Amino acid sequence: MSAIYDVAADFITNKSLTASWDTSVILWDLNAGTEVGPLTCSGGGYGGCGHTVSVWRVVADFTAELALSGDSGGTLILWNLATGQEVRAITGGPSSIITDMSADFGLLKAFVATSDGSMVVWDLSAGTQVHAMSANYNPNQVQVDWDLLQAISCDNSGNLVLWDLDLGQEVRQIKPNVGKLVTCQADFPSMQAVTAGDDSELYLVDLSGSVVRTMTGHTNGIRTVVADFTAMMALTGSIDSTVILWDLSTGSAVHTLTSHLSTVQAIAADFSCMRALSTGNDGKLVAWDLDTGLQIAEDGSHTDRVTSLVADFSLGKALTGSRDTVAKYWDLGEAMTCAASPDKVRTNSQFYLDQAEHYQVPLVAELVRRMHVLARMPDGHGEPLQVGQYHLGEFYQPHFDSELSQNLRRAVTVLVYLDPPKAGGETIFPKHRKCQDADFADCCNRTELIAEGKGFWVRGKKGQAVVFYSHDLDGRHNPLSMHGSCPVLAGEKWVAQQWFRLEPYAGSPYFFPVADSAT
């Protein structure tokens, strides 16, 4: 094996992939520490099979057993990890270095940036280009929100670009300074991003088109940024060999971490438990406590630059890949393992009515009929009616009713308040990532936070209904449809809701397939 340029790993299935200078993509069994084998095709070897030049990027879905690798000649290969075989080589795009990419193996789409400035959305099932767009000089990093079908890229011309992957066009460019931008990360629902590069400043950007904050602290170019827009914190790694922890809401440097001897190339962090790993040209992997800014541990056993790092702090595992040709699998130990947080997405209970109840209970039939009229939806699109109950303190965090990555498209939701609570339990449309996870309850107490995200809330009265569309008329998912239910503060809350699918739905109580006359 030769120098490793990229790694992908999954610490539940315990598999990893390494992409290398020597043209190979190798699948590893992390438990055994052994090679499952190089990915190849039935013929074996590289004669028209597999990559023929160095492989720069690899991304994978180890549960779906699919991976995508991209090389320095612009070729992409889709792999079946169950068989270890090539599904297809995707060529015909730009023939320069694939600098970064993102794939969704449910949608079977990829967004790929090449050094010549091409940005291509590929259909991986057909191997065809869905959209070909062009960026500025050398896009270095991309990030995609496959639910919202939006992406960002940051490039050597110093531009942070927002892309609409559905329409296949650039939305806007933001140029914080003249220096090259090397790294960027966005939160699409809240339209925020961070980006940094050669001019050594970290920028907090509003993707609507402005630079919110410039953060000064590094004395040389920044190579990597990792941010958490719920915690409003970021970590940057620099050529100046330091890692800085930033408070994005004030712009201040909270801690400067100084164990590295040269450029920091990669960082992984979990801001919910304030743990991080950093690595880079000195070959060291350093474990940090972000609360204190102190080092927990370090290891210097890589003998050349570490190019890639992935970690799972809830399992306490990490993987590094290095130019020294070695990939190392790390057990991070108890001090670096974050206690698993319980599923906090929703605490209420809900159930669907069955098919018979739609026909036999006149009240249900009438309610559902009116919901169809209100939503202007034909029969055969509605899921069975669902009833939701919230006890004191129960809630439903902001979410979308459509789940695009599962191919679940709900065009419209009709929510009826059967019995509203005495206090709390508002349905909120926050459009603000601050209103998720830890800050969610806070948003329910502070109307200004919801207003800041240009959202609103509904305190439903008995018998009232809320109707909202998750997709525009052209089928596009609308990010403004994000919604949740605030905790019930007094009494109980009962709702009935009807989800209408974008397409006719066989699970609908009113779905009648056209009879097949041949049988």
Applying CB under 6 A, which residues contact ligand AKG?
388, 396, 401, 415, 427, 483, 485, 495, 497
Least separation in angstroms between CB 348 and ligand AKG: 7
Which of ligand AKG, Fe ion, none does residue 495 bind (CB under 5 to 8 Å by kind)?
A: ligand AKG
Q: Which of 122, 162, 168 is nearest to 139 (CA)?
A: 162
Nearer to ligand AKG, 200 or 402 (CB): 402
Please give the Cα distance from 182 to 222 (Å, whole number).
7
Residues in 164-183 that interact with Fe ion by CB under 5 A: none
DSSP 353-366: PPHHHHHH-HHHHH
Nearer to ligand AKG, 81 or 428 (CB): 428
Least separation in angstroms between CB 366 and ligand AKG: 22
Contact 453, 431 (CB under 8 A): yes
Least separation in angstroms between CB 349 and Fe ion: 14
Least separation in angstroms between CB 399 and Fe ion: 6
Which of ligand AKG, Fe ion, none does residue 207 bind (CB under 5 to 8 Å by kind)?
A: none
Nearer to Fe ion, 345 or 361 (CB): 345
Nearer to ligand AKG, 328 or 346 (CB): 346
Please give the Cα distance from 443 to 125 (Å, whole number).
42
Residue located via tokens 């023929």: 52
DSSP 272-305: TTTEEEEEETT--EEEEETTTTEEEEEE----S-
Which of ligand AKG, Fe ion, none does residue 388 bind (CB under 5 to 8 Å by kind)?
A: ligand AKG
Nearer to ligand AKG, 103 or 415 (CB): 415
Least separation in angstroms between CB 52 and Fe ion: 48
Query: What per-residue string of b and e applies to 63-84 under the rule 16 or more CB within 10 Å gives b?
Result: eeebbbbbbbbbbbbbbbbeeb
Please give the Cα distance from 62 to 78 (Å, whole number).
13
Nearer to ligand AKG, 109 or 483 (CB): 483
Exposed/middle/buried for residue 502 (C-beta within 10 Å: 0-12, 13-18, 19+): middle
333: left (phi over 0), alpha (psi -120 to 50) or beta: left
Least separation in angstroms between CB 447 and ligand AKG: 17
Please give the Cα distance from 7 to 324 (Å, whole number).
14
Number of Cβ within a 10 Å radius of residue 107: 17
Least separation in angstroms between CB 439 and ligand AKG: 18
Nearer to ligand AKG, 102 or 427 (CB): 427
Least separation in angstroms between CB 483 and Fe ion: 6
Residues in 369-428 that interact with Fe ion by CB under 5 A: 401
Please give the Cα distance from 20 to 39 (Å, whole number).
12
Which residue, judged by CB position, is nearest to Fe ion in the bound state?
A: 401
Nearer to Fe ion, 79 or 400 (CB): 400
Which of Fe ion, ligand AKG, none does residue 160 bind (CB under 5 to 8 Å by kind)?
A: none
Least separation in angstroms between CB 467 and Fe ion: 13
Q: Which of 396, 388, 491 is nearest to 441 (CA)?
A: 396
Nearer to Fe ion, 199 or 401 (CB): 401
Which of Fe ion, ligand AKG, none does residue 6 bind (CB under 5 to 8 Å by kind)?
A: none
Please give the Cα distance from 137 to 418 (Å, whole number).
57
Cα angle vertex 484, ends 480, 486, to 5°?
135
Which of ligand AKG, Fe ion, none does residue 485 bind (CB under 5 to 8 Å by kind)?
A: ligand AKG
Which of Fe ion, ligand AKG, none does residue 427 bind (CB under 5 to 8 Å by kind)?
A: ligand AKG
Binding region for Fe ion (CB under 5 A):
401
